[in-house]
Structure 1
């Protein structure tokens, strides 16, 4: 892959985020000022990005740069199509939280994203698996997964991040009855909610694992010990003001070993912001890194 005449294959999810059409049009205008060749593929529904990615991997063309134009859910689908492929991955942030874009130093900026796509060289990043589902950012069970499960169709597109507030209130009756068993190397921990994080950021600009990062072959395991609406509000405020690590009923562990999550009843789990799993879970690192484009000077 060379820096001149870079060939970008963009998988665009037109349903991601607010103002998707305007932001994607802006991205295409910015790309027109680069030397990149661009091919655009539009997703038609859930799972389509995975199918298209597998087809691109089958081309066996090492000069392609695969670009996710959407949110973290779009990246998740593409990641699961990349399994076994060597194509580098870039991002145009069009979603609600855009956690991966923040991890790689792009944030919500279309201009930064296009500069990275046009000039950056790929660097390694470590994905993981939860029950054979590949993920790059986080897996959560508890407060966050019940909230994501309570989201209504189209709600994120209409209300952006506020959609999660509405969903949390709908999910709140379930906050009273949560107990998960998290096991790591023979040690067992009981928590109301858990986030297994590969990323520093969570839910957008909020730090959950300041020393973590997708470039590191490890997990940060964040255990929230107490259940209930009051505890949920307290954890939410702590996350908002970057004070989660100061709470006495929050424990953070770091490991590169397999993690299991069990519950007495089947519990929905979110993976990179989408509900696509349920307990029990077995989570492990992928031994071989993927390649991802990042902003120059970013920590990854």
Structure 2
């Protein structure tokens, strides 16, 4: 049976603005012109996408292609319901950053998303666990987690990506006193902030791990050494222009081993853009891949994980 004949079960997060409602309607119109059978399940609140995914996994139906229609938060919930199942996953990007969609060669394009849903072949990718929380894109503690923790309810829906700038200014007082102990490949490192990247992209179109990718069973551990608002601004501008790895106080470590993050005080941590954990954090690869629909030829060059270290000069 060809993919275009399979049944697409779309888990849709309807709590978005009018723009994304229009984008979802556009996606459904495109799908109506294909041979796909479409079933739509709407989430009713936090955690509902995880519960619905577990129910779909329990059906054990080989013809189902699961589709996340929402942002990276919706994908994260679905990911945490996929454990033990073999459902292939696709995306319709309706979020703010859409990091996974960019990783898959979809970007923000509804046209491209539908092309991939009806024509792409599932490929294996590797997720990870932070304590008991699964993630596919990144986990972080420091600048990003304090910023995400400072987001106000409904702010992202109202202002989009600009909401993170407002949140960063509110969180700025906490930037002065940050110190993490990050253990990678058995060696302890001290940093103000750490991003444990599974994906190449971060926060949207910005590249944080140029040689990384979700198809690789490894982590790119990005350590930002200095604390403070000035350092945060400098790191942010470097990320904006894809020059973060060139800074002398940024270190990138590559590993496929377990990573530990500790701090002298309890520190909030983010996984795939949501605050859901706190230090101490234990991060490990999930050895069993999940299947995902991505654009042909969009994979990064294959690389075997190992205890390599790259320090910006």
Contact 1:88 1:292 in 2 (8 A): yes
Residue 21 of structure 2 is aligned to residue 25 of structure 1: no
Corresponding position of 1:51:
51
Corresponding position of 1:294:
294
Q: Per-residue CA shift, 1:49-82, capped at 9, x if unaligned?
A: 0000000001110110000000000000000000
Contact 2:185 2:255 in 1 (8 A): no
Q: Per-residue CA shift, 1:189-212, capped at 9, x if unaligned?
A: 000000000000000000000000
Query: d(CA) in 2 for partners of 1:200 and 1:257?
Result: 19
Partner SS state of residue 174, structure 2: helix
Corresponding position of 1:224:
224
**Residue ranges of structure 2 left out of the alignment (5+ in a row):** 301-313
Contact 1:16 1:96 in 2 (8 A): no
Contact 1:18 1:158 in 2 (8 A): no
CA RMSD across the alignment: 1.0
Partner SS state of residue 245, structure 1: helix
What is the 5 A alignment of 1:81-96?
Answer: 81-96=81-96
Corresponding position of 2:8:
8
Q: Per-residue CA shift, 1:95-136, capped at 9, x if unaligned?
A: 000000000000000000011001111000000000011000
Corresponding position of 2:239:
239
Residue 124 of structure 2 is aligned to residue 138 of structure 1: no
Given the two structures, how large is their TM-score scaled by the length of structure 2? 0.94
Corresponding position of 2:306:
none
Query: d(CA) in 1 for partners of 2:147 and 2:273?
Result: 10
Q: Per-residue CA shift, 1:208-261, capped at 9, x if unaligned?
A: 000000000000000000000000000000000011011000000000000000
What is the 5 A alignment of 1:141-290?
Answer: 141-290=141-290
Query: d(CA) in 1 for partners of 2:289 and 2:229?
Result: 39
1:166 positional shift: 0.3
Q: 1:46 to 1:118 in 2, by over 3 A?
A: same
1:185 positional shift: 2.9
Corresponding position of 2:69:
69
Query: d(CA) in 2 for partners of 1:64 and 1:235?
Result: 42
Given the two structures, how large is their TM-score scaled by the length of structure 1? 0.98
Query: d(CA) in 1 for partners of 2:289 and 2:14?
Result: 28
Contact 1:137 1:272 in 2 (8 A): yes
Query: d(CA) in 2 for partners of 1:127 and 1:286?
Result: 6
Corresponding position of 2:125:
125
Count matched residues.
300
Query: d(CA) in 1 for partners of 2:124 and 2:182?
Result: 28
1:16 positional shift: 4.3
1:18 positional shift: 6.5
1:2 positional shift: 2.6
1:3 positional shift: 2.4
Partner SS state of residue 188, structure 1: strand
Contact 1:117 1:293 in 2 (8 A): yes
1:17 positional shift: 6.2
Partner SS state of residue 177, structure 1: coil
**Residue ranges of structure 1 left out of the alignment (5+ in a row):** none
